[in-house]
Amino acid sequence: MKKLIEPPAVIVLAAGKGTRMKSNRAKVLHSLFYRPMVHHVMETVKPLQPRPTVVVVGHQRQEVEAVLAGFEVSFAIQARQDGTGHAVACARESLADFDGVVMILYGDVPLLEHTELSRMLAHHHAHYALLTIMTTTPADPTGYGRILRDESGQVVRIVEEKDATAEQRLIGEINAGIYCVDKGFLFSALERITADNSQGELYLTDIVEIAIKDELTVATYEHPQPLHALGINSRAELAAAEALLRARRNQSLMQEGVTIFEPATTSVDPRARIEADCVLGAGVQVTGASHLGRGCRLEPGVLVHESIIGKNAQLGAYSVIRYTKIAEHATIEPLTYLGNPQKNKPPYTSQPNAGS
């Protein structure tokens, strides 16, 4: 009989400043493919049906809490930045009524997919592990903690790069910062870690060495695609993540029967609904909760925002349609601007035969 896997509790760490982004804005609040970065993480964990989900907030916490108002989460406050171990410890009270596996991840991993988290959770249970670490092997491991193993291949500890020797920095396998761990062990181990390191911080990674010393089962789950498992730490990485999320969205649309002539230049908001047999030219943008009926054709450079486009409508090149309803079979001339001055207040401006 297949073992039933109980939903985990989830802790999302979102208290950091993200100084490498060179911004006054908290990293998890940066916009990425039509939503705050942290929204992608919350959508990724949702299929796990976690009870509860705790978001650890600190820097600009009011703003972070505000953008997560639509999610079923509770918040734990990290008032001072004393390291990842301290951040997780701040969630202890929020998990007082939970007993089971806790999944820990960061709020800056927007490319992570829920299928990998599900596989990691299943791997954790299949190995009867007390602690499972997600690892991966990027082309350049600079900046990440290295996975140290013994001669038998067993993990012995994680060493942060700033504390690593020159030889240890040559190791390619890194800690992705995502864990499955028994709740009881987690918080007892956090009471035993110290700030005896180059940063003077409480490292969450130190619980690995504690588990090994206590002769507990520690497993690893290797993510096959390093880019998907790692956080966003720069504007260049933010742009690369945008491109990948856009490509995923376009691939899904094409599989559903939408023609996209130049996917690299076409951007469709995840909230938008595009029916089969629509044709999107180069440079098209469809944003907000727009709806394109079956068989619509959008010529190059068209922008549609929060609008309803009737089936078989034709939108000419570089036209802009905002907060507007276009009738079925309508033809909109190139370079046309149609917008409702009341913005998204219903009813939409109706254009039954514009340009026909």
Domain range list for the chain: 9-229, 256-351
- Please say whether the structural domain 256-351 has been given the CATH code 2.60.40.10: no
* pLDDT computed for residue 20 by the predictor: 83
* pLDDT computed for residue 354 by the predictor: 46
Inter-CA distances, 134 with 103, 145, 149, Å = 11, 12, 14
Angle between helices 114-126 and 37-45 (to 10 degrees): 50
* pLDDT computed for residue 353 by the predictor: 52
* pLDDT computed for residue 81 by the predictor: 86
Nearest partner of 43 among 78, 19, 67, 16, judged by Cα: 67
Q: Which CATH number fits domain 9-229: 3.40.50.2300, 3.10.20.30, 3.90.550.10, 3.30.420.40?
A: 3.90.550.10
* pLDDT computed for residue 1 by the predictor: 39
The alpha helices in the chain, defined as continuous H runs, are 37-45, 61-67, 84-89, 114-126, 183-190, 206-213, 226-229, 235-255
What residues are annotated to the active site? 20
CB–CB of 77/58 below 8 Å? Answer: yes
Question: Residues of the chain whose pLDDT is less than 70?
Answer: 1-4, 341-356
pTM for the model: 0.90
Angle between helices 206-213 and 183-190 (to 10 degrees): 110
DSSP-derived secondary structure letter, 60: B
Query: Pairing mode, if any, of strands 324-326 and 308-309?
Result: parallel
* pLDDT computed for residue 351 by the predictor: 58
